[in-house]
Amino acid sequence: MDNNINDFSGDFPVLDQQVNDERLVYLDNAATAQRPRQVIKALTDFYEQDNANVHRGVHTLAERATKDYEDARQKVQAFINAPAAHDVIFTKGCTDSLNLIAATYGEQNIKPGDEIVISIMEHHSNLIPWQQLAKKKQAVLKYIELTADGELDLADAKHKITDKTKIVAVTHASNVMGTVTPLKELAAIAHQHGAVIVGDGAQAVPHMPVNVQDLDVDFYAFSGHKMMSPMGIGVLYGKADLLRAMPPYQYGGEMINDVHRDQSTWADIPFKFEAGTQNIAGAVGLGAAVDYLSHVGMKNIQRKEQSLVNYVLPRLIAIPDVQVYGPQLPQKHTGVISFNIKGLHPHDVATALDMDGVAVRAGHHCAQPLMEELGVTATARASFYFYNTKEDADQLIKAINETKEFFNIGTI
């Protein structure tokens, strides 16, 4: 496998530790990634040198903090190739971004009998806002189903998206099965029917080059913490004309133009959607994470993760009594791999792997309708990032074999 961009160990202090007397192998990156020193330093520098509230001060620190914050917006704009910086709205995270769209665009545009189309592999964050909106507006929520090998069924999408569809909201990459969806094709289909398309990029932006103009998505949401920035910062990209036509999400300071006793007017985008004091340090940290990822190169990151998947997936599938969910071909997979060991609850698997220093997640991964579809209540999930290594993959495989032995799986 390609180990060219392998040695990031010095950059991630948290990875340099033992857990249960074993080398820590962190394979829970789909839940949250680790932070490199460069991001931690950007946060410390901000708090030690520039900390102030943004936009409303004329003193030097306020001007520096404002510049840091707006620089971070420009870095994100370039990173996802948004047409302008004002198309990038800082939010608390992907969940917040998706709720914002449902509460503003959705509230304004969905009428009884309209259709909202999502997929069955959605994270609850890209499911419940639409489910609740549909209920409130007496609209119809439709699900795009999976193909037999766990991919989004494009033929079904063409069937489900109709002239009644007003919103299509689909993940760009599954947080359970590691499937990448044909978001660009879905955008074209949605637009043919006059609908807008929302992309959930939580599991895509950290792992592959994303170009929102090329995808032609109307909205695109993601979280900073899955791409190595602080918790509590995220992004909503939106096409400017749509954002301008939408009502505000929250009311208060920063988002206004004029306020009078009986009426108020709103600031232009992006500030209209950034009410109150924002997570300025978080945005600065996100900017530093974008710098780091751009320096490594998103194509290199994608290539490295692909080579890890090429290495580990066939070895995982080859273990008797291990079932991998979703596509079985490595080239159809991101670094997110869900599996179960026959006869064992995934929580027991995750606990046993932790004894060998391997951190994986177990549960429904906030995707219960998908779990129902897969016929399970939970899975174990190993999720790789570019700083993981072939040795990490070997330790996972070894720990799974040891877990099987410990529980006598396959021997009785």
Measured from the CB of residue 10, what is the shortest distance to ligand PMP in angstroms? 27
Burial 103-138 (b: 16+ CB within 10 A, else e): bbbbeebbeeebbbbbbbbbbbbbbbbbbebbeebe
Q: Report the amino acid identity of residue 76.
A: V
Compare residues 223 and 306 and give the one whose CB is closer to ligand PMP. 223
Instruction: Check 39, 236, 286, 366 and give the catalytic one.
Output: 366
Q: Report the amino acid identity of residue 125.
A: S
Does 340 bind ligand PMP (CB under 6 A)? Our answer is no
3-class DSSP assignment, residue 381: strand
Nearest to 189 by CA among 147, 144, 158: 158
What is the chain's Cα-based Rg? Answer: 22
Nearest to 88 by CA among 260, 210, 256, 228: 210
Stretch that binds ligand PMP, among 198-206, 320-328, 339-347, 355-363 (CB under 6 A): 198-206
The neighbour count for residue 101, using CB atoms within 10 Å, is 27
- Can you list the positions of beta strands (E) in 15-146? 18-19, 22-23, 25-26, 88-91, 115-119, 140-144
Q: How far is CA 334 from CA 97, 301, 411, in A?
A: 23, 11, 32
Site string for ligand PMP, 105-134 (x = CB under 6 A): ------------------x-xx--------
Compare residues 123 and 166 and give the one whose CB is closer to ligand PMP. 123
Measured from the CB of residue 13, what is the shortest distance to ligand PMP in angstroms? 22
Site string for ligand PMP, 29-68 (x = CB under 6 A): -x--------------------------------------
Q: Any idea which residue has 């990209």 for tokens?
A: 237
The interface with ligand PMP within residues 173-192 (CB under 6 A) comprises: 175
The interface with ligand PMP within residues 155-174 (CB under 6 A) comprises: 171
Q: Any idea which residue has 């099987």 for tokens?
A: 404
Q: Measure the CA–CA gap between 143 and 168, rounded to whole angstroms.
A: 10
Q: Measure the CA–CA gap between 165 and 159, rounded to whole angstroms.
A: 11
Contact in structure between 139 and 112 (CB atoms under 8 Å): yes
Nearest to 157 by CA among 131, 193, 130, 125: 193
Q: Determine the angle formed by the axes of helices 280-296 and 37-45, rounding to 10 degrees.
A: 150
User: Which one of 29, 95, 99, 165 is in contact with ligand PMP (CB under 6 A)?
Assistant: 95
Contact in structure between 183 and 216 (CB atoms under 8 Å): no
Does 93 bind ligand PMP (CB under 6 A)? Our answer is yes
Burial 6-27 (b: 16+ CB within 10 A, else e): bebeebbeebeeeeeeeebbbb
Size of the site for ligand PMP (CB under 6 A): 14
Compare residues 77 and 126 and give the one whose CB is closer to ligand PMP. 126
Measured from the CB of residue 42, what is the shortest distance to ligand PMP in angstroms? 20
Measured from the CB of residue 203, what is the shortest distance to ligand PMP in angstroms? 5
Measured from the CB of residue 309, what is the shortest distance to ligand PMP in angstroms? 17
Compare residues 223 and 307 and give the one whose CB is closer to ligand PMP. 223
Measured from the CB of residue 32, what is the shortest distance to ligand PMP in angstroms? 8
The interface with ligand PMP within residues 199-218 (CB under 6 A) comprises: 200, 202-203
CB contact set of 243 (below 8 Å; sequence gap of 6+): 87, 89, 269, 270, 272, 273
Compare residues 127 and 400 and give the one whose CB is closer to ligand PMP. 127
Does 278 bind ligand PMP (CB under 6 A)? Our answer is no
Stretch that binds ligand PMP, among 54-62, 79-87, 93-101, 298-306 (CB under 6 A): 93-101
Compare residues 31 and 319 and give the one whose CB is closer to ligand PMP. 31
Q: Which residues pair with 118 in a beta bridge?
A: 143, 169
Judge whether 366 counts as a catalytic residue. yes
Measured from the CB of residue 383, what is the shortest distance to ligand PMP in angstroms? 9
Does 91 bind ligand PMP (CB under 6 A)? Our answer is no
Measured from the CB of residue 60, what is the shortest distance to ligand PMP in angstroms? 34
The interface with ligand PMP within residues 215-244 (CB under 6 A) comprises: 223
Active site residues: 366
Point out which residues bind ligand PMP (CB under 6 A): 30, 93-95, 123, 125-126, 171, 175, 200, 202-203, 223, 366
